[in-house]
Amino acid sequence: MLKLGVNIDHVATLREARYRGQSAGEPCPVEAALTCEAAGAHGITAHLREDRRHIQDADVRALRRRISTRLNLEMAIAPEIVRFALKLKPDIVCLVPEKRQEVTTEGGLEVARQLTAIKGICKRMGRAKIEVSLFINPDARQVDAAAEAGAQFIELHTGQFAEHYGNARNRRRELNRLIAAAEHAHSLGLRVNAGHGLNYENLPTLHAVPHLEELNIGHSIISRSVEEGLAKAVKEMLRLMKGYRSR
């Protein structure tokens, strides 16, 4: 069965737009995670960035305490975040590239060029019984490096597939890259996840990729929830306003 991990970063992004630096605010990413679990999600993904632009330390600690499914902590190769993860003990960490100026993660992790550092992190996580996934482009060189680093999983970056989805020729090219990378990873004993840019239109095409265990999806689900829930939210606010009487 293909599993769904819901990324709740964008819930925190919305909260931080209004309540940055405050101890409480809405919407609450932890409550959103619990809603996703109740709806059938198999896991929750959150990215604790070095600049804390959306998810905060307290959010991740609360997620660790309160969710009952799999907690996937996305993180950069940064000593501070590595120490945090080792103390938190999520079920799995996903190592991703991180740039301060980017809006969201752009491109896959360059594992081959950082093999020594990543191998060291994999060993430390392994001693703490935390699984490791590496977020990589569908490239044989990166798959080989992920296996050499000692990761249990790779997460195939589906951003190019999503970006080129509207062009049949380019879509097929990117899909073939994903298929080849998944086959190669499986042959090396790596387990395969995928994510980035997946939505309600392009996801069915991804069924052609073999050996997938979990898809991590955030933006499209949160966007759909705004659209589907907006009428209800407006109606509830109007109901609360009905009791007003002008003096």
Per-residue pLDDT of the chain (247 residues; tens, 9 = 90+): 899 999 999 999 999 999 998 888 999 999 999 999 999 999 999 999 999 999 999 999 999 999 999 999 999 999 999 999 999 999 999 999 976 555 555 679 999 999 999 999 999 999 999 999 999 999 999 999 999 999 999 999 999 999 999 999 999 999 999 999 999 999 999 999 999 999 999 999 999 999 999 999 999 999 999 999 988 888 988 888 797 787 7
Query: For residue 242, is it within any domain?
Result: no
User: Are the C-beta atoms of 121 and 77 separated by less than 8 Å?
Assistant: yes
Provide the 8-state DSSP code for 6.
Answer: E
Residue 105 has what pLDDT?
55
Catalytic residue among 10, 47, 54, 157: 47
Record the pTM. Answer: 0.92
Catalytic residue status for 42: no
Q: How far apart are CA 214 and CA 154, in angstroms?
A: 11
Query: For residue 97, is it within any domain?
Result: yes
Query: For residue 177, is it within any domain?
Result: yes
Provide the 8-state DSSP code for 21.
Answer: T
Count other Cβ atoms within 10 Å, centred on residue 59.
22
Q: How far apart are CA 32 and CA 7, in angstroms?
A: 10
Joined tokens for residue 155: 């997460």
Catalytic residue among 16, 74, 174, 214: 74
Chain centroid to CA 35: how far? 17
Please give the tally of structural domains in the chain.
1
Residue 30 has what pLDDT?
97
Query: For residue 155, is it within any domain?
Result: yes
Catalytic residue among 155, 157, 196, 214: 196
The helix-helix angle for 140-149 and 115-127 (nearest 10°) equals 40
Catalytic residue status for 196: yes
Chain centroid to CA 199: how far? 13
Residue 244 has what pLDDT?
76
Catalytic residue status for 183: no
Region for 83 from its dihedrals, namely left if φ exceeds 0, alpha if ψ lies in -120 to 50, beta otherwise: alpha
Q: What is the CATH number of the domain that holds 70?
A: 3.20.20.70
Residue 86 has what pLDDT?
98
Query: For residue 245, is it within any domain?
Result: no
Query: For residue 145, is it within any domain?
Result: yes
Query: For residue 215, is it within any domain?
Result: yes
Query: For residue 123, is it within any domain?
Result: yes
Q: Per the omega criterion (within 30 degrees of 0), is the bond before 79 cis?
A: no
Residue 59 lies in domain: 3-235
